[in-house]
Structure 1
């Protein structure tokens, strides 16, 4: 079983994204026999299935080069859902003019 280095995957992902304007919101690598690599991406105009598929193909090629063709892993490239929190400052600009529900550290909620 190959050990998947998160930093190495981040480098491969940066190469896969190129100058697409997309950025990584989250990257998780499960610690299991068949690791699952989950990449959540976003962009200035969001992203669709075509962009997810293109990044998946590019990242798979990079993973093969880095870890060999026999590397065993599951890869999921996705966009953040509407119910996911905004975690990157770049996500906020796309939502200007929309109502947001804010959950503060003290547990209170504000809508605006």
Structure 2
């Protein structure tokens, strides 16, 4: 994590509404001489547009009075979309009971329902179908450091 990102993280942490809120990601990119700062936040209970707007206003005011960005900047504070990969145990816990697709470091892809999460691993219920037999569900455990990418799968059933 760069020094600038760490400073932004500390600033954001000071303006989160309560301890149920957490930072998912901080991204900075330069476009046409302007810095674009994207801050993704979430909450254990879900997040509202109003919460994002409140955090955005507070951060914007503080950034404007600081010298972190001497040039013009664009600030975007939002929640991660469903297509944004899960990264922290806290994000996984929020999605227990939902279907995930995980890409392992080995290149294998596995889909299943998220059953359990701890600080180091997740447990999925994976449906396995053998030729000519009825599908069975098998519980499989994966260390978080084995997972390259993990996304929530949307079901329209």
For the aligned pair, the TM-score class normalised by the smaller chain equals 0.7 to 0.9
Query: By percentage of residues, which structure has more helix?
Result: 1
Contact 2:37 2:76 in 1 (8 A): yes
Using CA pairs under 8 Å that are at least 6 residues apart, name the structure with larger relative contact order, 1 or 2: 1
Query: By percentage of residues, which structure has more strand?
Result: 2
Is residue 13 from structure 1 mapped to residue 12 from structure 2 by the alignment?
yes
CA distance in 1, matches of 2:62, 2:20: 19
User: Where has structure 1 moved over 3 Å in runs of 4 or more?
Assistant: none
Is residue 22 from structure 1 mapped to residue 21 from structure 2 by the alignment?
yes
Contact 1:42 1:79 in 2 (8 A): yes
Structure 1 residues not aligned, in runs of 5+: none
1:106 — aligned with what?
106
For residue 17 of structure 1, report the CA deviation from its aligned partner: 1.1
Is residue 82 from structure 1 mapped to residue 82 from structure 2 by the alignment?
yes
How many residue pairs are counted as aligned between the two chains? 108
User: In structure 2, the residue corresponding to 1:30 is in which secondary structure?
Assistant: strand
Structure 2 residues not aligned, in runs of 5+: 113-157
Once the two structures are superposed, what CA deviation does each residue of 1:51-100 show, in whole Å capped at 9, x if it has no partner?
A: 110110010111122139x8510000111111111011101111111111
User: In structure 1, the residue corresponding to 2:110 is in which secondary structure?
Assistant: strand
CA distance in 2, matches of 1:71, 1:59: 16
